[in-house]
């Protein structure tokens, strides 16, 4: 297990490519690290096509790989690079969500489809779409070509100009949204999409407060992290006017509910009471992940979002759905809110819109807000808003998704293969307390025993993560859960392979 190395809250989000498993003890709030030892494999030879030299004089060492650590000069070439060469280079990188001394990421040389590999030939099955973003898989040639072609014609341009690719990307996104949406504001990622959606709601309503759920994550910028409900907001609460409430989650109900209907009803009563106590005329927006992601893939009761929509309309509050993780096919629909027969006022997106090939995000804006800003100045903007390379990747990704029927595939294969296989594991493994999901978006919650629902210990989760990685399965581990969100193009045979690995490791863990 290792020694406690920090005290940071109730949950920690673990990079699916982290070489060290990092997790928190939900009882003591202690942060632990556990080293994962990669298995030996044959060297993966690469041709010498790049020489990266950081020194005053030209190198004379040809294509031999060498790395000097510390403050000394560094010379790197790419013939017969091994994983340690990349790890040594990476020591100059300041890692996110990490204790820097504990960060030892896996060295990744390349990828294709649902597979990735390191510099020594070890192959991994990506069972998490990296950070739930590579919806069309790795290195799709059509999208790579579109990015290259755009770079040849126009690599960058100021957002105040008009250009073909940005206009086309906006049109294509609007074609997937309900007809009440009329414009798209482009950002660099999901966090600044949420920032700007909140800014729009505040300017549109003239109100200040924003309501969001405790079980949520909306990004790591000022307003977005304040809207976040989990522990990561605590050292970052500098943005004004944020109030949190409990969203429904029957498996760990805050409302002592026994059924989904009861959970939904009590959660809506709770939300309306929060609105009343905060002052309805002071609240600009309610922002919700349509299906909370990092919090555990929490599928809301079927009537809950309709009830939230009704409350927002009743009190003149703008409803923002954060579709950053679940949008663009992840749940088997273009947008996850389509499952619940409800339409928000603003939609935020990123990740799957272009599979993360180039940083991109945005806000889809409904007609009343568009009309407001026809004669009112919008106080927002970004240097790289609508960057041509990002826009080209969006257009190409949406083309690929339509041409290859990827959303339908995610719906069919996710709900007929992935979901049932994960549910079948619950029958075999008493440590699986709950399995939930839609499409290619599933969570397996692990417990010490099903009656108490005590989360599986960090020691066991560390062992689980280590064994999954050793066997070549890249997973998204959060607290006591395995988040299973493979690329939407994954085939049934690959799903069976990944689930079989999980099955084997769970049996080993229980023995």
Nearest 5°: phi and psi at 418?
A: -60, -55
Q: Which residues pair with 432 in a beta bridge?
A: 446
Tens of pLDDT, residue by residue over 72-85, are 444 555 568 999 99
Q: If you average pLDDT over each of 35-39, 60-64, 238-242, 247-251, which comes out highest?
A: 247-251
Could you tell me which residues come within 8 angstroms of residue 412 by beta carbon, excluding any fewer than 6 positions away? Answer: 332
Gyration radius of the chain's alpha carbons: 23
DSSP count for the chain of H helices, then E strands: 14, 20
Structure tokens at 50: 């790049």
Tens of pLDDT, residue by residue over 142-188, are 999 999 999 999 999 999 999 999 999 999 999 999 999 999 999 99
Q: What confidence score (pLDDT) does residue 406 get?
A: 99
Are 426 and 437 in contact, with CB atoms under 8 Å apart?
no
Among 45, 43, 19, 47, smallest CA distance to 33 is for 19
CA distance 300 to 311: 16
Give percent of the chain above pLDDT 70: 84
CA distance 373 to 286: 20
Domain architecture of the chain: domains with CATH: 4-68+108-136+407-510 (3.90.1150.10), 142-403 (3.40.640.10)
Q: What confidence score (pLDDT) does residue 454 get?
A: 98
Among 198, 144, 193, smallest CA distance to 386 is for 193
CA distance 497 to 503: 10
pTM of the model: 0.84
Helices (H), 206-251: 222-227
């Amino acid at each position: 297990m290792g020694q406690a190395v920090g005290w940071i809250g109730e949950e920690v989000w673990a990079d699916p490519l982290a070489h060290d498993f990092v997790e928190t003890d939900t009882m003591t709030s202690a942060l632990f690290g556990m080293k994962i030892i990669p298995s030996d494999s044959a060297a993966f030879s690469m041709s010498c096509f790049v020489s990266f030299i950081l020194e005053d004089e030209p190198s004379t060492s040809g294509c031999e790989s060498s790395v000097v650590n510390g403050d000394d000069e560094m010379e790197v070439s790419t013939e017969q690079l091994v994983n340690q060469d990349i790890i040594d280079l990476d020591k100059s990188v300041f890692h996110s969500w990490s204790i820097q001394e504990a960060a030892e990421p896996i060295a990744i040389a390349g990828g294709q489809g649902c597979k990735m590999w390191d510099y020594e030939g070890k192959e991994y099955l990506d069972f998490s779409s990296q950070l739930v973003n590579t919806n069309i898989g790795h290195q799709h040639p059509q999208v790579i070509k579109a990015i290259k072609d755009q770079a040849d014609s126009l690599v960058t341009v100021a957002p105040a100009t008009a250009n073909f690719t940005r206009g086309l990307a906006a049109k294509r996104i609007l074609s997937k949204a309900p007809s009440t949406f009329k414009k798209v504001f482009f950002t660099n990622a999901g966090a600044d999409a949420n920032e700007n959606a909140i800014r729009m709601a505040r300017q549109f309503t003239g109100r200040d407060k924003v309501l969001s759920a405790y079980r949520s994550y909306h990004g790591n910028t000022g307003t977005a992290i304040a809207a976040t409900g989990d522990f990561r907001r605590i050292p970052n609460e500098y943005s004004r006017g944020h109030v949190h409430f409990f969203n429904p989650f029957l498996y760990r109900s805050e409302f002592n509910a026994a059924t989904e209907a009861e959970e939904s009803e009590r959660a809506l009563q709770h939300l309306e009471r929060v609105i009343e106590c905060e002052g309805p005329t002071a609240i600009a927006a309610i922002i919700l992940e349509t299906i909370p992601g990092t919090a555990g893939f929490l599928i809301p009761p079927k009537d809950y979002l309709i009830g939230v929509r009704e409350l927002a309309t009743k009190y003149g509050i703008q409803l923002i759905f954060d579709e950053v993780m679940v949008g663009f096919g992840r749940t088997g629909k273009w947008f996850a809110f389509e499952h619940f027969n409800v339409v928000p006022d603003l939609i935020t997106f990123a990740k799957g819109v272009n599979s993360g090939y180039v940083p991109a995000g945005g806000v889809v804006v409904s007609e009343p807000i568009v009309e407001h800003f026809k004669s009112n100045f919008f106080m927002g903007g970004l240097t790289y808003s609508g960057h041509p390379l990002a826009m080209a990747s969006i257009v190409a990704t949406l083309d690929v998704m339509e041409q290859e029927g990827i959303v339908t595939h995610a719906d069919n294969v996710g709900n007929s293969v992935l979901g049932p296989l994960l549910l079948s594991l619950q029958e075999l493994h008493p440590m699986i307390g709950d399995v939930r999901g839609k499409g290619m978006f599933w969570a397996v919650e692990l417990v010490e025993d099903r009656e108490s629902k005590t989360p599986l210990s960090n020691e066991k989760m560390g062992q689980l993560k280590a064994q999954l990685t050793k066997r070549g399965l890249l997973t998204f581990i959060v607290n006591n859960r395995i988040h299973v969100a493979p690329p939407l193009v994954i085939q049934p045979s690959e799903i069976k392979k990944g689930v079989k690995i999980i099955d084997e490791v769970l049996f080993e863990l229980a023995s």
